[in-house]
Amino acid sequence: MHVISEQRLDDTVLEREFVLGEVPGTLWTPGSTAAPLILMAHNNGLPKSDPRLVARARQFATRGYAVATIDAAGCGDRPRSATEERARADLRRAVQAGGPVDEVFESVVGPLVERAAPEWRTTLDTLLSLPGIAGPVGYSGWTAVGIRLAVTEPRIAAVGLFAGGFVPRTQREEARLVTVPLLFLLQWDDEGNPRQRALDLFDAFGSTQKTLHANMGGHVGTPWFEVEDAGRFYDRHLR
Amino acid sequence: MHVISEQRLDDTVLEREFVLGEVPGTLWTPGSTAAPLILMAHNNGLPKSDPRLVARARQFATRGYAVATIDAAGCGDRPRSATEERARADLRRAVQAGGPVDEVFESVVGPLVERAAPEWRTTLDTLLSLPGIAGPVGYSGWTAVGIRLAVTEPRIAAVGLFAGGFVPRTQREEARLVTVPLLFLLQWDDEGNPRQRALDLFDAFGSTQKTLHANMGGHVGTPWFEVEDAGRFYDRHLR
C-alpha cells in the first residue's frame, strides 16, 4: 500500500489517499489507537471523491472508526473494457426505455461484483495489518458487494446496506446466508431500485438482528440523520 | 385534574398519578421549566402501568420531555360494557380461528378509537395549562388514535406510531390527511398486525417527512434502541 497524499482534517482525523496494486483508495483514521474498521463501498461508477460519500466517511471517522473506501472495479477512474462500456450503455438504454432490465443488469453488475469482492478482501487484509486499525470490521454501502463479503469474509461483524432493489441473482440467493447484524436502508421512491424487490431482499436475509430504515424520496435523498443512525448501529455491534 | 400520588424517580423526573374526570393517567415531568410534551397512547386493553410502557415514558422524561399517558376507553381498569366484552370475545375467537377478522375488528376497535380520541384531547387541554409544560406536542404509540389526533389536533407536531397492520377503516382513510413528520415502527413478524397492511398504511400517509423502522420478531419484541431512536426523532421535530 502506497500513500500518495495525506491531510489532517481536524485535531484527530487523518485522511490518506493510497493505491494498492491498481486500486486507488482513501483511508480515514481517528486519533484512537485500536479503531474498529468500516469498509465503505459504492457502486454506480461513482468516484470515491463523491462529496456525499466523503461526508459520510468523515462522520464515521469522527465517531472513532477507521474508514476505508476504494474505487473498486468499475468505479471512479478505473479503466473500463469496451465490453463493459457497451454493457453499461445497454443498461442505460434499457432503463430509459422502461422495459425489463433484469438480464441487461445481470450482465453489467454480476461481473462487477465478482471483480470488486476480491479487491475488497485484499484491501481488508492490508488495512488490518496497519498500526492503529484493529477489528472488528463493519461494512457500509453497495448491497451486492456487501452480501458477497458478509458471506465469504468471517471478519465482517455487521453490515449496513443501501438500496438493494436491483441486486444480481447470485447475491439475492446468498442473502439467506448472511447472519451478521444488518441495517438495511432504502429510499421509498428510489428511481433505480424497485421498492418491493428491496423489501423482499430484506426479508430474505438470514440475520436474526436486522433492521429496516426507509425514508421518502429518490435515490440520493437519504436524510443526514441516517448517517448518525448508522453510526449508532456500528457502535452497538463493533465496540 | 386531581393528583393521587407522586414520586420523584431521580434528581429530575417527577412521576404523578392523576385522574381527570373518570380517566386515570400518569404524568412524568423533567426538571426543565418549558418541556415539550409527548402523549403516549396504548391499546390492547393494556394498563398504563405496563412495565414496558412505563420504561419508555421514563426514558422520554429523562431526555427532557413531559410525558403523559391515560387509560383511555377500553384500557386498564376502565369499566367495559357487556357489549364491549362480547365484541372482544368475538374478536379473540375470530383471531384464534384464523379466519377473516376485519368486520369483527372494526366493530371492536372502531368505537374504541371514537371514544378514546376526545379523552386524549381533553387531557391535552389540561396538560398544556399546567406550569412547566409547553409545546410543541408529540404523539407516541397506538396507530389508530394517533392518526385521528394528528388529523384533528393542530397542536400535534410529530407522531411516532407503532404496529398499524390492523387499523379501523376510518383511520386508514384519514392517513393521507396526516402531514406532520412521522416515525412508523413495525415488527416484521407481528402476530397481530399483517406486514403488508402496515407497509400499505405507511405508504398512504401524507407526510413528506416519514421514516419507517422495522425489526425482526413479534409484537412485543421491539429492541430497546428504538426508544432512543424515537427520542432523537422527537428531538428533531419538537425542539
Q: What digits encode the pLDDT tens for the residues B108-143?
A: 889 999 999 999 999 999 999 998 898 899 999 999
Q: pLDDT band for B215, please (50, 70, 90 cuts).
A: very high
Contacts of B211 in chain A (CB under 8 A): 213-215, 223
| DSSP SS3 for B229 | helix
**pLDDT at B210 exceeding the cut of 90:** yes
Q: Distance between CA B186 and CA B171 in Å, rounded?
A: 17
Query: CB distance A214–B212 less than 8 Å?
Result: yes
Q: Distance between CA A90 and CA A68 in Å, rounded?
A: 31
Q: Distance between CA A168 and CA A185 in Å, rounded?
A: 18
Residues of A with CB under 8 A from a CB of B: 188, 199, 202-203, 207-216, 223, 225, 228-229, 232, 236
Question: For B152-209, what is each residue's pLDDT tens digit?
Answer: 999 999 999 999 888 999 999 999 999 999 999 999 999 888 999 999 999 999 999 9
How far A185 CA lies from chain B's nearest CA (Å)?
10
C-alpha cell at A49: 471523491
Contacts of A203 in chain B (CB under 8 A): 188
pLDDT at A59: 96
Q: Distance between CA A69 and CA B33 in Å, rounded?
A: 47
Q: Which of B207, B211, B223 lies closest to A214 in CB terms?
A: B211
Residues of B with CB under 8 A from a CB of A: 188, 199, 202-203, 207-216, 223, 225, 228-229, 232, 236
Q: What average pLDDT is seen over chain B?
A: 93
Contacts of A199 in chain B (CB under 8 A): 199
Q: pLDDT band for B40, please (50, 70, 90 cuts).
A: very high
Size of interface A-B (CB pairs under 8 A): 40
pLDDT at A223: 97
Contacts of A229 in chain B (CB under 8 A): 229
Domain span holding position A15: 2-238
How far B25 CA lies from chain A's nearest CA (Å)?
33
Amino acid at position A233, single letter: F
Q: Distance between CA B81 and CA B238 in Å, rounded?
A: 38
* Number of other CB atoms surrounding residue B110 within 10 Å: 16
Question: Is the ipTM beyond the 0.85 threshold?
Answer: yes
Closest-CA residue of A relative to B229 is A229
- Among A25-34, A128-137, B56-65, B89-98, which stretch is predicted with the lowest mean pLDDT? B89-98
Residue B118: CATH number of its domain: 3.40.50.1820
Q: Distance between CA B9 and CA B49 in Å, rounded?
A: 15
- Among A84-88, A153-157, A158-162, which stretch is predicted with the lowest mean pLDDT? A84-88
**pLDDT at A44 exceeding the cut of 80:** no
How many domains in chain A?
Answer: 1
DSSP-derived secondary structure for chain A = -EEEEEEE-SSS-EEEEEEETTEEEEEEE-SSSSEEEEEEE--TT--TT-HHHHHHHHHHHHTT-EEEEE--TTSTT----HHHHHHHHHHHHHHHHTS--HHHHHHHHHHHHHHHHHHHHHHHHHHHTSTTEEEEEEEEEEHHHHHHHHHH-TTEEEEEEE--SS--HHHHHHGGG--S-EEEEEETT-TTS-HHHHHHHHHH---SSEEEEEESS-TT---THHHHHHHHHHHHHH-
Query: CB distance A216–B209 less than 8 Å?
Result: yes
Q: Distance between CA B6 and CA B201 in Å, rounded?
A: 39
